[in-house]
Chains A and B, each alone.
Chain A
């Protein structure tokens, strides 16, 4: 499932995260939300993978697990570390330190993702301080460098400001600087532009793209907005109720969507061209919750194409329909 034949930077296999529902002190939980339900993908070095889905799809949870803010209940994550692949679930304290050095995260809310009582310098320098990298003058130098790179110049004007003195766009630039200051190899970006004004979104994405190339960073870009995913990502994975239903290179996915959910999603996206007539969105019903789902196809209740096979078989596996283009759907498989 990697775009190239080389060794992937990040390899996720059958990732699962269950949240218990209805737990008391003495009663054990008997119901679980399958937030992430058997997700597998690979990210190559320098590649940007988009994780697209609506609310409840599991994309944010997947991102948090990859950044080790939450722990998966099953499945594995491997991170390339020199010659070997680190098994992230089984790393111990030293391994965790190496992990934190190589994996960083950019958060969605530019207002709440910075400690309001710490200066911009403190915020960006935090990874360096906490991980004991460099000494004071070197750290100051590095932070100033990063500020220049994200376009907050002159750096002196920003170093000792507080977050509330900056605009949303400026704060997200600081967030990018903080994520890149220790030179990571992999950055999870959780909807970094969704709370920003429309006109500054692409400047933020441009910074991420440019610096991503300069630093040689891979991104997992989480978003609900297909247009944004298109701008940022080399490949896109579409998630529904905890599963990846389709994954393909960006332009291929957008010009040739195969899974009925992807098609519905794509046809629902408004286009800034009044002359463009959108096709009807073919989907039934409303969003469902993934509480103890039956082993059938998760999309069954909403699928306009559901067949007898779909109703009686397990959730379909991801099958490569075109080079690099994987879909999990029996109807699509049959159409080959």
Chain B
């Protein structure tokens, strides 16, 4: 999984700067995403990993501007194709959505309308973005996409219930690709699938990405999946990006306590059986997040400063950034042998 970062960073296809998003509930404002910054280079695979409530899906929805009514972007920029899409109106965003950046939603494979053929539903999406396209042209394109994701062309005229789970997910990916986006966000693309099907889908996605030279943001709580598919990894906790760096670098040498504990608490079929470090406590309430570093209540290395001052997100080595006051405490993980 080698990737020439230096060259790619020069022309990022997505530039997220200090993105902050809150949503309002009866009790107050939930600080779902707080001061997140990262770039995405062309053709790169970035993995966002974190547990439920960490904000990874919120970020995805913010990037593609499909937020609920009670959500608002409080601060920051999202620069896509030269425009700050965070500031656009919904009308304006529609031009970018699906054709510049598209998304495979969590559980999307169950979102197919059961009464329409799969091909028709994909054509519907394409029609909106290519009003001049003729249906025959559209069908040709869909057939190409199906081939790309490993589905036979005869499936275009079938109904969703005739597809298996894995096939539906592939069709969803085809739909996300239908308008030629430069970036695709895949939110838990394989969570509901069996492991053998998951393997196939992940390979498909990699193949698609390489063929089309597309950038992809993988979102998952599954650390192992992210390790496999991403060139770079961003670790999220309680709405904040706590660590960002090359996967090859972060896994053996995590610099944030949460990263270390997350990786160390993942059971695996390789490596030592039970040398794992459980993470105590629960993720915080984002209505009133902890003062200072949001991870301090659960951090084994927290000190005074961690409770009062938020650590800045600093680059500690080439391409590797962390937000922690005590990165030197974090143990090495090394490789798994076996």
List A residues at the B interface (Cβ < 8 Å): 54-55, 167, 169-170, 197-203, 205-206, 224-228, 230-231, 250-251, 254-255, 264-266, 268-276, 278, 281, 283, 286-287
Contacts and interface: CB of A to CB of B under 8 A. Distances in A.
Interface in B1-59: 1, 51-52
Contact of B248 (A55, A167, A271, A275): A275
Interface residues of B, number: 47
B111 interface: no
Contact of A202 (B202, B228, B267): B267
Contacts of B51: 197-199
Given A54-B195, A169-B282, A270 B225 contact: yes
A266 B269 contact: yes
A145 B196 CA distance: 42
Interface string B242-269: 0000011001100000000111011111
Contact of B262 (A198, A230, A231): A198
A231 B274 contact: yes
A162 B66 CA distance: 34
Given A198-B222, A200-B279, A202-B278, A271 B268 contact: yes
Given A268-B196, A274-B248, A201 B265 contact: yes
Q: Which of B198, B202, B227, B263 has the most CB of A within 10 A?
A: B227
Contacts of B194: 54-55, 224, 287
A268 B199 CA distance: 6
Contact of B269 (A197, A227, A275): A227
Given A202-B278, A273-B251, A228 B267 contact: yes
A282 B252 CA distance: 29
A226 B269 contact: yes
Interface in B188-207: 194-200, 202
A210 to B, nearest CB: 12
Contacts of B248: 274-275
Interface of A, secondary structure class, is helix
A85 to B, nearest CB: 33
Given A202-B276, A227-B267, A271 B199 contact: no
Q: Which 5 A-B residue pairs are closest in the complex by CB-CB distance? A: A270-B224, A54-B194, A199-B279, A268-B199, A197-B51
Contacts of A203: 278-280
16 contacts: A198-B262, A199-B262, A199-B279, A200-B278, A202-B267, A226-B269, A228-B267, A230-B267, A231-B274, A251-B273, A269-B224, A272-B268, A274-B230, A278-B228, A286-B167, A286-B197
Given A199-B51, A199-B265, A274-B247, A268 B278 contact: no
Nearest to A193: B267
Given A198-B262, A287-B164, A271 B279 contact: no
Nearest to A206: B278
Given A198-B266, A286-B164, A274 B228 contact: yes
Contacts of A271: 224, 227-228, 268-270, 336
Given A265-B196, A272-B227, A201 B267 contact: yes
A333 to B, nearest CB: 24
Interface string B112-142: 0000000000000000000000000000000
B265 A227 contact: no
Nearest to B223: A272
Contacts of A268: 195-196, 198-199
B227 A270 contact: yes
Given A230-B268, A272-B224, A272-B251, 13 more contacts: A54-B196, A169-B282, A198-B222, A198-B223, A230-B269, A268-B195, A268-B196, A271-B228, A271-B336, A272-B336, A274-B1, A286-B166, A287-B197
Contacts of B52: 197
B77 interface: no
Contacts of A170: 282
B227 A273 contact: yes
A204 B223 CA distance: 18
Contacts of A269: 195, 224, 269
B221 interface: yes
Nearest to B334: A273
Nearest to B280: A203
A265 B197 CA distance: 10
B288 interface: no
A200 to B, nearest CB: 7
Nearest to A264: B196
B221 A274 contact: no
A198 B195 CA distance: 17
B107 interface: no
B49 to A, nearest CB: 9
Contacts of B167: 286
